[in-house]
Amino acid sequence: MASLSPLSPLSPAACTEVLDTHCHLHTGSGQSQMVGAGAVSMAVAESDDWDMLAEWLESGPDSAAASASASPWRIGGYGTHPWYATSVVELPSLRVDDLPTDATVSAAVASYIARLGDRLDAAAAAGHTVIVGEIGVDKFRGWHPQAEADGEVPDGYAEMSRNGRNRLAFNIAQKPLFEAQFDLAAARGLPVSIHCVQAGGYLFEFLASASRRGLVPSGVALHSVSLKAGLITSLLAIRGPLADVLFFGLSPAINYSSPRSAKLTDAAIALIPREQVLLESDLEEYEANEQAADYTPLVAALAVAWDATLAEVIAITSANARRWLAGLAPSPVQSC
């Protein structure tokens, strides 16, 4: 199985499937960067990206058909990533006349949610299996790094400190968009995949309130988690329906990308119950490389923490992925 080649160091576990709970399409080629026996590929913006995802879903076995074949199955995530929130809630410039009012923001978000709902309906009608993602909040980036590099940050915001403009984008555009997408997933009983960078305090408050209100998606994955230990402890202490559906995704690409993130990850692994850990590649075009697709260091760290074998780690995290997906994933293929 060519799709499993990056995992060759884990050959003792080859009979057990790795499920990639968060990856992206390779812009231009439409090929997924998935690594494993099944994958959930996330769109990050409307229009082109959603169309590309639809084509990818159309061209391969979805979760219903894949159980009859050995091909990796496909699930699609439709949503808008926080780096693209300002494409929904537009911030044309920092001039007073150009600032969106509350009514403008509400109308833009409502119209977007209607389009997202239509997409989810169309995908379901075409027989595809879908979730809501990638959504989230990011106080470190209000715009995509490429947009910043290309000078596409609007007038006024571009002249501010990076910290200042990102906080404005977070407050004005990201929060209302994230909350509406989360609520849509809850209303439709779908799982979500959430990106959160430097906004953990806000995310904790929001999730605790959603759990109190009983408005929770069928599965909630915080992906490539790089949250401080205190925040993870707080998230794990939230009571109510969220407690049964909260998962923490870890990826070699992000979680072991630097000594600092490795340290955070090791502290997180010690705190998160093994029933709540997901594996993901989180590969995307602008940073994808073969090395990053190797799960070995991550699986080995989990094996040490859990006093388990590599095969057991893969079996546990795959079972977790199925619970996060709430029955959307096909039954495992018995290949050996």
Binding interface with Zn ion (CB under 5 A): 134
Judge if the upstream peptide bond of residue 280 is cis by omega within 30 degrees of 0: no
As measured in angstroms, the least distance from the Cβ of 300 to Zn ion is 23
Decide whether 62 or 134 has the Cβ nearer to Zn ion: 134
Burial class (CB within 10 angstroms; exposed 0-12, middle 13-18, buried 19+) of 215: middle
As measured in angstroms, the least distance from the Cβ of 282 to Zn ion is 5
First to last CA, the chain: 13
Burial class (CB within 10 angstroms; exposed 0-12, middle 13-18, buried 19+) of 28: exposed
As measured in angstroms, the least distance from the Cβ of 24 to Zn ion is 6
Decide whether 141 or 315 has the Cβ nearer to Zn ion: 141
As measured in angstroms, the least distance from the Cβ of 22 to Zn ion is 6
**Is the distance from CB of 333 to CB of 37 less than 8 angstroms?**
yes
As measured in angstroms, the least distance from the Cβ of 251 to Zn ion is 9
Decide whether 33 or 63 has the Cβ nearer to Zn ion: 33
Q: Which residue is nearest to Zn ion (CB)?
A: 134
As measured in angstroms, the least distance from the Cβ of 131 to Zn ion is 13
Query: What Å distances lie between residue 267 and 45, 225, 229, 230, 233, CA to CA?
Result: 32, 11, 6, 10, 11
Decide whether 40 or 184 has the Cβ nearer to Zn ion: 40
Decide whether 33 or 166 has the Cβ nearer to Zn ion: 33
Please compute, for residue 322, the number of CA atoms within 13 A of its CA located in the half-sphere on the CB side.
Answer: 14
Decide whether 20 or 134 has the Cβ nearer to Zn ion: 134
59: alpha, beta or left? (left if phi > 0; alpha if psi -120 to 50): alpha
Decide whether 49 or 134 has the Cβ nearer to Zn ion: 134
Contacts 24+ apart (CB under 8 A), 45-51: 45/80, 45/81, 45/84, 45/87, 46/80, 46/84, 46/87, 46/88, 46/112, 46/115, 46/116, 49/25, 50/78, 50/119
As measured in angstroms, the least distance from the Cβ of 51 to Zn ion is 18
